[in-house]
Amino acid sequence: MDYKRILTVQDISCVGQCSLTVALPILSASGAETCILPSAVLSTHTAGFKGFTCRDLTEDIPAIAAHWKKEGIDFDAVYTGYLASEQQILLVKELFSLGAKGCKRIVDPAMADGGKLYPAFDEKFAATMATLVGEADYALPNVTEACFLTHTPYRETLTKDYVKELVDKLHALGVHTVVLTGIGYREDTTGVVVDGDAGFYHYEHRRIPRNSHGTGDVYASAFTGALMRGFSAEEAAKIAADFTVLCIENTPASHWYGVEFEPLLKDYIQMLQPS
C-alpha cells in the first residue's frame, strides 16, 4: 500500500466531535500519515454550545509554513475544513504550494448548513471561500454552502435542474471535481453528487431523519482518506456516505453535539479493503 502524507487544516474544537478531533482519527485509520495545522482552538464547536472561546491561530501559520518549506516537507494532499478568518483562507492558498507533484487540493468549505451561515461567518467570508474552492481539485460543499458560494437562493426541496445549476455554478468558480452532499429527491433519501472526469454520478441512499453535527467533517475526512487510498472520487464518495450513515445510525439522539464515530473506525477500515 502506498503510504501517503496528508495535511489537514481546520480548527480544534476541544469538545464537539468535529473538525480535527474527527479528521485526525479518520485519516489515520485510512492508513495515511496525517499532519495537522490547527486554524483556531475553540472550547467547543459553535453549533449549539453557548459562550465558547476561540483563539484564532492565523498569525502562527506563516512561520509554520516557512519552517516546513525550509525542511523540504511536502504533502500528497492538502485538505481544508473550517477556517477561522478570511486572511486564513488566503494563507491556505499559499500552503497549497507546499504540495508534492500531483498533490490533491481538497476543500470542504465548512461554513454553513440548514440554509444559514455558522455564527462566525458572513457573506464576505463566503465570497473569499469561493476563491479557495476555485483552486481546489475537489470541493465538498453541502447544498447551503453551495448556495452561499454561488449566490443562489437556498431551497429545501431539490430538483434535478436546481442541482445541475449548483454543480455548474461551482465548476464556474474553477473547481475540478464537485462533490455536492445532501442530495436526495425524496423525503426519505439523501445522497451525494460527484461531477468530475467521469461525468455526473449520483449516489442516493436512505436519510436518517435527525439533525447531526459534525457529519460534514466525518464525510469529508472519510472521502479524503479513501481517495488517498486510491479509490476513484465516485467510490470514495460512496464509502464516505456509507460510513457517515453508519455513524449517524449508531449515535443515540441524546448525543446531540456530534456522532459516535470512534467505535466504527474498524468498519471504515474494512470498507477500504480492496474487493
Indicate whether 257 belongs to the interface with ligand PXL (CB under 6 A): no
Place of cell 455526473: 200
Q: Are 18 and 258 contacting, i.e. CB atoms less than 8 angstroms apart?
A: yes
Question: Per DSSP, which regions of the chain are E strands?
Answer: 5-15, 33-44, 54-56, 75-80, 99-107, 112-113, 116-117, 138-139, 177-181, 189-196, 199-206
**Which 33-52 positions form the footprint of ligand PXL (CB under 6 A)?**
42, 45-47
Residue 67 contacts by C-beta under 8 Å, 6 or more apart in sequence?
none
Q: Which of 75, 82, 138, 203 binds ligand PXL (CB under 6 A)?
A: 82
Q: Are 26 and 97 contacting, i.e. CB atoms less than 8 angstroms apart?
A: no
CB of 14 to ligand PXL, least distance (A): 10
Number of residues that bind ligand PXL (CB under 6 A): 14
Binding segment for ligand PXL among 93-101, 123-131, 214-222, 223-231 (CB under 6 A)? 214-222
Q: Are 66 and 73 contacting, i.e. CB atoms less than 8 angstroms apart?
A: no
Q: Dihedral through CA 92, CA 98, CA 101, CA 104, nearest 10?
A: -30
Q: Which of 109, 182, 214, 225 binds ligand PXL (CB under 6 A)?
A: 214
Indicate whether 216 belongs to the interface with ligand PXL (CB under 6 A): yes
Q: Is the dihedral of CA 173, 103, 19, 216 positive or negative?
A: positive
Closest CB to ligand PXL among residues 41, 73: 41
Q: Which of 57, 106, 110, 167 binds ligand PXL (CB under 6 A)?
A: 110
CB of 20 to ligand PXL, least distance (A): 9
Closest CB to ligand PXL among residues 110, 271: 110
Q: Which of 13, 142, 177, 221 binds ligand PXL (CB under 6 A)?
A: 13
Closest CB to ligand PXL among residues 49, 185: 49
CB of 28 to ligand PXL, least distance (A): 19
Q: Are 114 and 144 contacting, i.e. CB atoms less than 8 angstroms apart?
A: yes
How far is the C-alpha of 232 from the C-alpha of 258, rounded, in Å? Answer: 28
Indicate whether 196 belongs to the interface with ligand PXL (CB under 6 A): no
β pairing state of 112-113 and 54-56: unpaired
Q: Which of 6, 9, 19, 30 binds ligand PXL (CB under 6 A)?
A: 19
Residues that bind ligand PXL (CB under 6 A): 11, 13, 18-19, 42, 45-47, 82, 110, 118, 214, 216-217
